[in-house]
């Protein structure tokens, strides 16, 4: 059986020494939360707003000099975290943002909470102007290549 991308992400974060992930639960990131719940090395810190998640990850990274990690929901969740992520990026603070997305079979159908009304599946594009890298994983097999 192939390993879920969410489990691969958690394995990678563990290997990188990540101890905390800050974020909110949403239906598009539930697989990540499930994978995190099985980790003995990473603790999920649930916050009430994505701006707080980004600020907490930023503060954690500034104090520990380790990457802060944010987990958010698609659409408004990703846009709500934008200010904190941009602030960290402009100060060269290491941060990883993981956002859920709608299933690819919804692309072209303008699903609920999609960010771009003109191009489904492009929510990560809003981060491209101020982050070093931004990817969307369309196929599980592509994930190891991205790492």
pLDDT value, residue 14 = 98
CB 24 within 8 A of CB 73: yes
Report yes or no on 147 lying in a domain: no
Report yes or no on 69 lying in a domain: yes
Q: What mean pLDDT, rounded, does the chain reach?
A: 87
pLDDT value, residue 1 = 60
Report yes or no on 12 lying in a domain: no
Report yes or no on 144 lying in a domain: no
pLDDT value, residue 97 = 95
In this model, does residue 115 exceed pLDDT 80?
no
Report yes or no on 141 lying in a domain: no
Range of the domain at 24: 17-135
- State the total domains in the chain: 1
For residues 119 and 58, give the distance between their C-alpha atoms in angstroms, rounded to a whole number.
30
Report yes or no on 54 lying in a domain: yes
High-pLDDT (> 90) share of the chain, %:
56
In sequence order, the 6+-apart residues with CB closer than 8 A to the CB of 146 are 135, 137
Report yes or no on 52 lying in a domain: yes
CATH code for the domain in which residue 131 is found: 3.40.50.970
pLDDT 10s digits, 23-53: 999 888 999 999 999 999 999 999 999 999 9
pLDDT value, residue 107 = 63
Q: What is the pTM of this model?
A: 0.86
Report yes or no on 95 lying in a domain: yes
For residues 96 and 98, give the distance between their C-alpha atoms in angstroms, rounded to a whole number.
7
pLDDT value, residue 108 = 65
pLDDT 10s digits, 66-99: 999 999 988 788 889 999 999 999 999 999 999 9
pLDDT value, residue 84 = 96
For residues 29 and 34, give the distance between their C-alpha atoms in angstroms, rounded to a whole number.
9
């Amino acid at each position: 059986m192939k390993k879920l991308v969410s489990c691969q992400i958690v394995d990678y974060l563990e290997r990188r020494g990540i101890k905390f992930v800050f974020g909110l639960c949403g239906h598009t990131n539930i697989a990540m939360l499930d994978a995190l719940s099985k980790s003995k090395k990473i603790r999920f810190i649930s916050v009430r707003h994505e701006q707080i998640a980004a600020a907490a990850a930023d503060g954690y990274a500034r104090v520990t000099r380790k990457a802060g990690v944010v987990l958010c929901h698609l659409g408004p969740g990703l846009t709500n975290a934008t200010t904190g992520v941009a602030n960290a990026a402009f100060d060269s603070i290491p941060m990883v943002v993981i956002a859920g997305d709608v299933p690819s079979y919804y692309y072209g159908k303008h699903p609920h909470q999609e960010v771009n009304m003109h191009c489904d599946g492009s929510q990560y594009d809003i981060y491209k102007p101020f982050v070093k890298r931004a990817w969307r994983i369309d196929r599980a097999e592509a994930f190891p290549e991205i790492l």
